Chain A
Amino acid sequence: MVDVNTNQAEANIKKTVENSATEFCGLDVGTMNFVSAKKDSNGTIATKFIRDAFIDLPVEARQMLKLSSVSFVEKDDRVLVVGDDAFKVANLFNREARRPLSKGIISSSEIDALEVLTLLVESVIGKTTKGFRAFSVPAEPIDADMDVIYHEGIFNSIITSLGYNAKAVNEAEAICYSECADNDFTGLTISYGAGQTNIALVYRTMVPMKFSIARGGDWIDERVSKAVGTTASRVAAIKETGFDIMNPTTGDPKDFRVREALALYYKNLIRYTLESIVFQFNQVQDKARLPISLPLVISGGTSLAQGFVPLFKQLFSEGNKLPVEISEIRHAKKPLEAVALGLLTYAQNIQ
């Protein structure tokens, strides 16, 4: 005679063992960085970062690279320096690092770099025999003719090849999972990345509005470099030395024009974001059930510039035309990791 209860109990135990063996992870696929978050055995969240950039050198450079402990990949008759080191080597050789992603999605000019992309992803998430990985994808931009279908397909394939079941989640939506738990997963979230700015309106985990604009940190660097006649790399370097958007006059006098232009373009990016949000809100407000009030959360690497959030608050209060009340404007606790942490939360609960 078959004991139904015993069988059921065994099935439950098996299911529990299977679930506990599953590795849950979040992977933020950004234009500048890949960031992963995974719970380790002692209960903390382990994060890993790598810059998604590379530069190719002649094979003769191999020995030199091995000696200096630089991250590299050997491919055919070339050596590709990858990650942060790619930028350092690029500066050394006075060249630009190659970027596999551009404006948030796989760059069409670097489409032959998929092997490198796979290795970079593997370096932050590793291989597994049984895992569930949520990875970020941008929304389609409202101001550029781009879609994310090919990009999503490629990353789905890469992550699956590493042993995970993969699920794509919108980047800005993911921020809500890490930053808006106390608001019942309701909020207006903005991810200021290098390639794009992603925006999502999330209401109790539902997403009535998500979109992106094809402007971010790279756009600022490029515009400033054109405006003042310098290189984007130099602009980025000045930006990263601790420049304050609210007070661009402070600093080395010979970089004043660059800082001034940077402040102007940051302001322009924020204004453009706010105008886009109002425009998109007006498109959905008759169709979607909007909450009475909600928090606005700012995240992403571009928002790390000193004075970014105060400037955002100032511009918001000057011309707020949103049809919903914003209860507060706050910076994500961990602006660089917020997407990966949100994806981890998502992966643990929604398979």
Chain B
Amino acid sequence: MWVRSKAVGKICLPSIGIFNALDFDDSVEVPDRMALHKEFTELCRKGLLEIVSNKHANDKKTKAETHIHQTIKVNVAEEVEKGVTQALTKLFESGVIQLASQILPESKVTGNNLVIQEKEVKKPDAEKFVPSNEETYVPTIPDSSSVKANISVNEGSISSEDVDNASEKLKRMLRED
């Protein structure tokens, strides 16, 4: 089954977990956004959900590609587990996610329920897919430039031979690959 995030707005929370990768629509009213993230993150952790594409929608892509780039996959075999269905239903009802079928008309939907699709719809090309780990939020740190400090550290010195050899080998391997 494929579902997708609704829109392209970004939210900035320090601990949105794996959902840094998904763009949620800020205009969507979600009663407890953090709770939903938590549930969603937990599902991913258990391997029941998987982000198969998280390319940001503001990339210069066609509309169709943008849709695909916000797709998540539900592990069909495990979907029957109560928790998954409940959590997804909650997300669905709150408007955070939509069924892929609402964007991709060829898929089958029964009423408002989340259903298992037998046929995968427009699966992203695994070869072309490059996961983005880009953070949407950068935590702030206090300015310490005016703080008076007197710190000494333990210093050591090591021959660079091993690092140079490893570096050379790594360079060669990366070139070959």
User: Is A341 a contact of B173 with CB atoms below 8 Å?
Assistant: no
Q: Is the CB of A205 within 8 A of B154?
A: no
Known: A44-B157, A44-B159, A334-B158. A154 touches B147 (CB 8 A): no
Give the chain B neighbours of A71 by CB distance below 8 A. 150-152
Which of chain A's residues have a CB closer than 8 A to the CB of B117? none
Give chain B interface residues in 100-159, CB to chain A under 8 Å.
135, 137-142, 144, 147-159
Option from B20, B144, B155 in Cβ contact (under 8 Å) with A149: B20
B151 engages A39 (CB within 8 Å): no
State A147–B17 Cα separation when bound (angstroms).
8
Report whether B169 and A181 are in contact in the complex, using a CB–CB cutoff of 8 Å. Answer: yes
Measured in the bound complex, the distance between the Cα atoms of B144 and A114 in whole Å is: 9
Bound Cα distance from A233 to B140, whole angstroms: 34
Q: Which size class do B's interface residues fall under?
A: 35 or more
A45 to B169, CA, bound (A): 18
With A and B bound together, what is the CA distance between A73 and B142 in angstroms?
A: 15
A46 x B157 contact (CB < 8 A)? yes
Q: If A72-B149, A150-B15 touch, does A49 touch B141 (CB 8 Å cutoff)?
A: no
Across-interface contacts of A346 in B (CB, < 8 A): 170
CB closest residue in chain B, given A50: B153
Find out whether the CB atom of B149 lies under 8 angstroms from the CB atom of A74. Answer: yes
Indicate if the CB atoms of B167 and A83 lie closer than 8 Å. Answer: no
- Write out the residue numbers on chain B whose beta carbons fall within 8 Å of the beta carbon of A50: 151, 153-154
Residue in A83, A149, A153, A349 whose beta carbon sits within 8 Å of that of B151 in the complex: A83
Residues in A whose Cβ lies below 8 Å from that of B41 = 147
User: Interface size on A (CB < 8 Å)?
Assistant: 55
Closest to A106 in B: B139
A204 nearest CB across to chain B (Å): 7
Given contacts A48-B155, A149-B20, contact A157 B167 (CB under 8 A): no
Encode A40-55 as 1/0 by CB contact (under 8 A) with B: 1001111111100000
In the complex, per-residue mask of B64-103: 1 if CB is within 8 Å of any chain A CB, else 0: 0000000000000000000000000000000000000000
Residues 12 to 37 of chain B near chain A (Cβ within 8 Å): 14-17, 20
A161: interface (CB < 8 Å): yes
Q: Mark A140-172, 1 if CB is under 8 A from B, else 0.
A: 000000010110011011100100000000000
> A62's closest neighbor in chain B, by CB?
B148
- Contact check, B154 vs A118: say whether CB atoms are below 8 A apart: no
Chain B positions near chain A (C-beta within 8 angstroms) = 14-17, 20, 41, 135, 137-142, 144, 147-160, 162-163, 165-167, 169-171, 173-174
Given contacts A47-B157, A185-B169, A348-B163, 4 further A-B contacts (CB under 8 A): A45-B160, A48-B155, A73-B148, A119-B144
A→B interface (CB under 8 Å): 37, 39-40, 43-50, 66, 69, 71-75, 82-84, 114-115, 118-120, 122-124, 147, 149-150, 153-154, 156-158, 161, 177-178, 181, 184-185, 204-205, 333-334, 337, 341, 344-346, 348-350
When A and B form their complex, which 3 residue pairs have the shortest distance between CB atoms, in order from nearest? A181-B166, A74-B148, A47-B156
